[in-house]
């Protein structure tokens, strides 16, 4: 019984360590792109009143390697985001 509890504890601890950082948004490359766009003033629905729509005016162009003015995104994050999206499509 003690061995089973010890194994369960190790399993829970290793699962928690493997999932560290998933909730903070900073380790997910696509969330880094979104954060950079938001920091530059792009907002969801912003395309209705200006050219500052989050998706159409910032995220999509960034993913197409056309980074909008005022947005700084590491190329490695764009590549990683594309890879995550491709892997997500394969899972479906």
Instruction: Tell me how many domains the chain contains.
Output: 1
**Bridge partners (DSSP) listed for residue 53:** 43
* 78 three-state secondary structure: helix
pLDDT digits (tens, 9 = 90+) for 53-66: 999 999 999 999 99
CB contact set of 84 (below 8 Å; sequence gap of 6+): 28, 29, 30
Tell me if 17 is assigned to some domain: no
| Total-model pTM | 0.68
C-alpha to C-alpha distance for 34 and 67, rounded to whole angstroms: 12
Tell me if 77 is assigned to some domain: yes
Average pLDDT across each block of 10 residues of the chain; the chain has 92 residues. List them in order: 37 36 65 97 92 95 94 96 91 78
Tell me if 7 is assigned to some domain: no
Tell me if 53 is assigned to some domain: yes
Range of the domain at 49: 24-91
Tell me if 65 is assigned to some domain: yes
């Amino acid at each position: 019984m003690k061995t089973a509890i010890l194994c369960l504890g190790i399993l829970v601890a290793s699962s928690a360590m493997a999932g560290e950082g998933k909730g903070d948004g900073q380790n997910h490359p696509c969330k880094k792109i979104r954060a950079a766009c938001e920091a530059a003033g792009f907002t969801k629905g912003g395309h209705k009143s200006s050219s500052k729509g989050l998706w159409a005016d910032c995220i999509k162009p960034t993913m197409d390697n056309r980074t909008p003015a005022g947005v700084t995104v590491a190329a490695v994050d764009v590549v990683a985001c594309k890879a995550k999206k491709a892997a997500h499509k394969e899972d479906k």
